[in-house]
Structure 1
Amino acid sequence: MKKIYIIHENDEWTQPLIEALEELGAPYESWFIHEGHIDLTETPPNGVFYNRMSASSHSRGHRYAPELTSTILAWLEEHERLVLNGSHALDLEINKARQYTALQKAGIRTPQTMVTVGKEQMIEGAHQMEKPFITKHNRAGKGLGVQLFQSVEALESYVNSNEFEEPIDGITLLQQYVESPDSTITRCEFIDGKFFYAVKVDTSEGFELCPADACSIEDQFCVTTENTREKFQIIENFADPIIHKYEKFLKDNGIDFAGIEFIQNNNDEIFTYDVNTNTNYNSDAELKVGQYGMKQIAKVLNNYLQKLD
């Protein structure tokens, strides 16, 4: 029996999609990828395979989930199975440096970024950056490792302290700091390669910006009596020429589902800084406008399934 197979490592993030598939009556199977084994001489089952592996899997104790997923995707693709967000999408998900080179190739502006390995090289590289600048992990997710520095001396003090957080792949990025006049970024969501909606995200409390409801609670991004500013707000009727560039970028890189984030500076210049191929949605923001990402993804997956031989 052909099914929709969901490849992931986070049950909380996947549950809204499962509920949407059950609402449609679509057959599915959850492949939780953490540890396991795979016989490469076997033939994979028939179906639609949706890869939702996350770059932040190591932060949940699933250190080698992306590596195992990479092998599984190669196996599926070798057998010509329909894989959405396949091998190349995963490669970009877990490597921000490759994201930036791919974005630049597509004519999409990114912040100045320097790739560093080793503390001494990080400090040396910082001398070549405009100040202030930020650090971020090459393999991250949720804004892990993002910190703002006003000077090389501040970075040096940090990397030589016990507070320094070693990136999981050893690569730290130094990046131009782009200041938003209202402390927000914009996240554009794409489903089946097409623009779905844009979300304005409040960054005033930090950069760990996973929009999933579980993350919102965990990272205290919910609205409280002390902070009445909404963290996630869908922008109705959003339109900008950047959308067409993003759609072409996704098509050229084999990405079917993604959230792409950009920031605008005081001169309204757009800098694109992140591509999330494991995209999540905020239910409170969606409820206000009646648009539901996971329900739309479920419909797309089911449509692909129905077209399979």
Structure 2
Amino acid sequence: MSKIYVIHENSAWVEPLRAAFAEQGLPYEEWFLDEGALDLAQAPPQGVFYNRMSASSHTRNHRYAPEYTAAVLAWLESHGRRVINNGRALQLEISKVAQYAALSNYGIRTPRSIAAVGKRHIVEAAGTMPGSFITKHNRAGKGLGVRLFHSVKALEDYVSGEAFEPSIDGITLIQEYIRAPEPYITRVEFVGGRFLYAVRVDTSLGFELCPADVCQAGDAFCPVGQEAPAAPAPRFQIVQGFDNPIIERYQRFIAANGIGISGIEFITDENGQIYTYDVNTNTNYNSDAEAAAGLYGMQAIARYLGEELRGLRAGQARPEPALDTA
């Protein structure tokens, strides 16, 4: 009997999805792909495969989980299995350079960014920025490695010091700093390629913006080394009635890149211009924000995967058409 297969490397992030599966009576199995062996001569089971591999897997000592997952997804796709967030989606999850290149094809503006390998090139790239800039890892997740600098000298001191954090793939992005009139970003969630909701995220406590409950303890990081002010409101708030033309562009982008479930983040500058800076194909949700709004992402994901599974089973049960021998 076919079922839903959840591909991941972080059990804590899957707990709300397990509860949603149980509530909806959906059969599922988890594939924890931190390591393993893949026999390419074998055919995969029938089912719907949901890829939740994360760009931050290396922070949980699962260094090669994305590479192993890429192999598994290639195997599944070669056998025609239904994969939600396929191999192309995984490529975008683990590379912001790939994200930005793909976003630009749909008229989606991203911050000016320079990808640099090597400390000397990081500093030289920063010298081309006209004002303040940030550094970030090409493969990161949760905003890890994001730092704000107001001078090249400050960056040079950081890069040459013990506090420097290299990206796991060796690529550091130097990116123009987008100054927003208020300290928040917007994250737009999609399930089944359709808009679910938008959430406003307070950035006054720093740049580690993972919305999952397990990310909330001890994740505050002040990027300029000063004491962060207390947040005047909940850090995550769902925006009621959110409507923006960017949604349609995002939908075209995710449909063309094998993405069924995602959260896309953008910031709006002082002139009202939107800059998209992150695509999360391993999206999580904040329970407090969802409870306040009465909207629940993991339940929506379970419903979507359940619909995909029922469609698959209906196709499997449909008899083959008779051959016309006349």
TM-score (norm 1): 0.97
What percent identity do the matched residue pairs reach? Answer: 58
Structure 1 residue 226 displacement after superposition: 5.3
Q: What's 1:18 paired with?
A: 18
- Which of 233, 239, 262 aligns to 1:258? It is 262
What is the alpha-carbon distance in structure 1 between the residues aligned to residue 159 and residue 74 of structure 2? 37
Q: What's 2:112 paired with?
A: 112
1:59-98 matches, within 5 Å, as 59-98=59-98
- Tell me if structure 1 keeps the 8 A contact 2:205–2:220: no
What is the identity, as a one-letter code, of the residue corresponding to 1:14?
V
Is 1:240 the counterpart of 2:268 in the alignment? no
What is the identity, as a one-letter code, of the residue corresponding to 2:238?
I
Query: Structure 1 226/124 Cα, relative in aligned 2: closer, same or farther at 3 Å?
Result: closer
What is the identity, as a one-letter code, of the residue corresponding to 2:19?
E
- Aligned to 2:43, the other structure's residue is in SS state coil
What is the alpha-carbon distance in structure 2 between the residues aligned to residue 56 and residue 131 of structure 1? 29
Q: Gaps (5+ residues) in structure 2?
A: 222-228, 317-326
What is the alpha-carbon distance in structure 1 between the residues aligned to residue 9 and residue 29 of structure 2? 13
- Give CA deviations for 1:192-221 in whole Å, capped at 9, x if unaligned: 001100000000110000000110134269
Is 1:202 the counterpart of 2:206 in the alignment? no
Q: What's 2:304 paired with?
A: 300
What is the alpha-carbon distance in structure 2 between the residues aligned to residue 226 and residue 144 of structure 1? 21
- Aligned to 1:217, the other structure's residue is in SS state coil
Q: What's 2:154 paired with?
A: 154
- Aligned to 2:217, the other structure's residue is in SS state helix
TM-score (norm 2): 0.92
Q: What's 1:45 paired with?
A: 45
What is the identity, as a one-letter code, of the residue corresponding to 2:51?
N
- Tell me if structure 1 keeps the 8 A contact 2:206–2:220: no
Structure 1 residue 229 displacement after superposition: 2.0
What is the alpha-carbon distance in structure 2 between the residues aligned to residue 13 and residue 35 of structure 1? 18
Query: Structure 1 37/15 Cα, relative in aligned 2: closer, same or farther at 3 Å?
Result: same
Structure 1 residue 252 displacement after superposition: 1.1
- Give CA deviations for 1:47-96 in whole Å, capped at 9, x if unaligned: 00000000000011110000000000000000000000000000000000
Q: What's 2:322 paired with?
A: none
Larger deviation, residues 122-131 vs 282-291: 122-131
Q: Gaps (5+ residues) in structure 1?
A: none
Is 1:55 the counterpart of 2:55 in the alignment? yes
What is the identity, as a one-letter code, of the residue corresponding to 2:94?
I
Considering only CA atoms, is the larger Rg found in Structure 1 or Structure 2? 2
What is the alpha-carbon distance in structure 2 between the residues aligned to residue 284 and residue 208 of structure 1? 18
How many residues align structurally?
Answer: 306
- Aligned to 2:295, the other structure's residue is in SS state coil
What is the identity, as a one-letter code, of the residue corresponding to 1:211?
P
What is the alpha-carbon distance in structure 1 between the residues aligned to residue 220 and residue 119 of structure 2? 32
- Aligned to 1:182, the other structure's residue is in SS state coil
- Tell me if structure 1 keeps the 8 A contact 2:205–2:231: no
Q: What's 2:166 paired with?
A: 166
What is the identity, as a one-letter code, of the residue corresponding to 1:307?
G
- Aligned to 2:205, the other structure's residue is in SS state coil
